Every structure is written in structure tokens, then in C-alpha cells.
Structure 1
Amino acid sequence: MAEEKIIVFSLNGETYGAPVNQVVSIEKLQVITRVPNAKPFIKGVMNLRGMILPVVDLLQKFEIGQSDIVEATRLAIVESEDVQVALIIDSARDVVSIDGESIEPVPEIAGGVHAKYLKGVAKHEEDLLVLLNLDLILNPDDIEAIKQLEV
């Protein structure tokens, strides 16, 4: 299997990774405008250089808490299914290369609610990276709800 470029970021004290080819940019936190009747994990929308993007709290999506918004908080602008969204992350750390063969499935015992959103885990130096499957984080209903926000 080929080498994969992964952007490494922190979320709730854990180290996560996402495919670089799906990450458009990392941005400082912007003003978020709440949207009535949005799903709880959609914190609202923001204007990024003329584009209106929904802002998603991954911790709420994973049902493991709520992101603390602090000075260091960043937004990972990602693309999935032709939809761009801003994911709230603690900080972006690095871009690394991971050998595709070193990616292992998520252990069943580590399952939990958000296991279905994970591609697997990989060792990189001293870190254990939890790799997100961005295409599954937003299911078709979520994408449709987001498209409705864009109207």
C-alpha cells in the first residue's frame, strides 16, 4: 500500500489525523453565527473569504463532550462529498507520511460511538494517530442539513 500524507491535530488531548488531500486549510477561529434548528454538533456558520461554511464540533458529533473555545482553537477546513465544513480542533501540529500498511483497524474494545468515523490507527514515532474517515463523519442526512444551511 502506498504512503499517505496525514495532517496531525489535537482534539481533547488526543492525537488525530486526516488525509491531507481532504484538508483545504487550517484557520484561526472566526466569528460563528448560530443557526436556528441546526443539529447540536453544528455550532453555526462562518464567513471565510466570502464562503459560508458550517462549523462542526467533532466532540459533540462523537458524543464525547463539547469543544472548549480558547485562543489556540483552530478550524480545519475539510472537504467531503463536495461540501466544505470547518471542524473545531484544539491545534494543528504537523503533516506526516504514514505507510498505508502500518494502518491498523480500530480495536473492537476501543469501539465507542465514534469508532464508525475512524479509518484506523497508525503508529508514528512516539504517537498513536487516530485516523479519521472524513467521508463518514458527515452522513448523507448531515450533508443535506448542511446544504440547507447554505441557502
Structure 2
Amino acid sequence: MARTNRSRTDLHALIRDLDARCRARAAGLPDDTKPSDSWAAVLFLVRAQPFLTPLEQIAEVLEMPRDITRVPGTRPWLLGVANNRGILLPIFDLGAFIEGGKPPLQGRVQESGSDRRRETRGRERVLVVRQDELPCGLVVSEAIGMRYIKRGDQVAEVPEGLGASKPYVDASFLLDGAPVPVVRLGRLIADPLFNAAMV
């Protein structure tokens, strides 16, 4: 009996020691709590233009699907549909919508081609936005990551060349000394102009 009590005591001491060491190491980790005067955003690129969007609008960020099924008779910015864990996800090219023209689909679905084309495809991501429980995938050139944006860094200046995204831009915030527009992706995908994918 004494041996069992000692074993339990040793086990409890070991757990307390392990807990103390974990807490000491965790003290050096970055603090992920949001500053009170900031809001969380996702920073991404469409071609060379950086954009911010509120983090709560993004359900997930995916790699570019290998298999995208084209839908005949649709607008150029609707690349098609892909299977995302058993759910059909419409995939839209945000760059083609903003700037017009045809998206470079061939470079996305074929492995052949230049190294630059493969490198570009490797950086592309799909931002999954949910609107009324319906998922929508928006292809961006690069998803850079999450940022905390200070509310006091809002500026009146809106960059030029926003194309078709301008109606969905509320404001700009300084990021690394340059104004970056905030695009409301939920508002964009709810717009009948964007949703009118059929030609």
C-alpha cells in the first residue's frame, strides 16, 4: 500500500513539474490576443494589389484545387466547381472579375508550362466565403496571412486601379506605410452583378 501511495505521489510530482515547464516555455510564445484598439483582417493579393478583408468573413483558406469542372456558358470569372470535402464549391477568379478579361485557367489545371506559371499556381489560394450558408471560393494571387489592424490607422485615401472591386471597398488602412483597401467579400458575392455568372 505504501508503495502505491508513493507511486501516486511521484506521478503527481512529475505532472506538476511537467506543467511548470510547459508554462515557462509558453511564456515566450507570441501573444495571440487581439489588441483592444484593433480588428483582425486577412491580407491577400489580387495580382499585385494588396487587399484586407475582415477575418470573420473568411471560413477557410484552401490551396488551389487540382480538379475544377468548367460550367459552360458562364462568365469568365467563374472558373467552375470543385469538390471541397464532399461539398460543391463554386470557384471564382477574383482577379478576372476585378480587372476583366479571361483568367489564366490553363496554367492552373495543367502541370506543363513554364516554371513561372507553376510558381504562380503554387502561391494562389482560394478564400472560402460563406454567404447565407452557401460557400463561395475566391481565387487570389496570394494569401499573405492574418494581421491586426489599428483602427486609428484608417485613411481617406483609396488606391487607384481597384477596377470592379471599388464598390465593395469601404476604407483603407495604413499597412507598412501604404494605404491598403478593405474589401467586403460578403457584399461582393451577394451582388447580383457578381452572381450573374451565366452569360
- In the superposition, the TM-score normalised over structure 1's length comes to 0.80
1:2-151 paired onto structure 2 within 5 Å: 3-30=38-65, 31-68=67-104, 69=108, 70-105=121-156, 107=158, 112-141=163-192
**Coordinate RMSD, CA, aligned:** 2.8
Moved more, 105-114 or 128-137: 105-114
More helix by share: 2
Per-residue CA deviations over 1:89-143 (Å, capped at 9, x if unaligned) read: 1111121111234333554966643310212211123453221111221244357
Q: Distance in 2 between matches of 1:11 and 1:142?
A: 19
Given the superposition, is the C-alpha separation of residues 140 and 14 from structure 1 closer, same or farther in structure 2, using an over 3 Å criterion?
closer
- In the superposition, the TM-score normalised over structure 2's length comes to 0.62
Percent identity, please: 20
What amino acid maps onto 1:117 in structure 2? Y
Structure with the greater relative contact order (CA < 8 A, sep ≥ 6): 1 or 2?
A: 1
User: What count of residue pairs does the alignment treat as equivalent?
Assistant: 147
More strand by share: 1
Q: CA deviation at 1:80?
A: 2.8
Per-residue CA deviations over 1:53-98 (Å, capped at 9, x if unaligned) read: 1101111211345555422211111123432111111111121111
Gaps of at least 5 residues in structure 2 are 1-35, 109-120
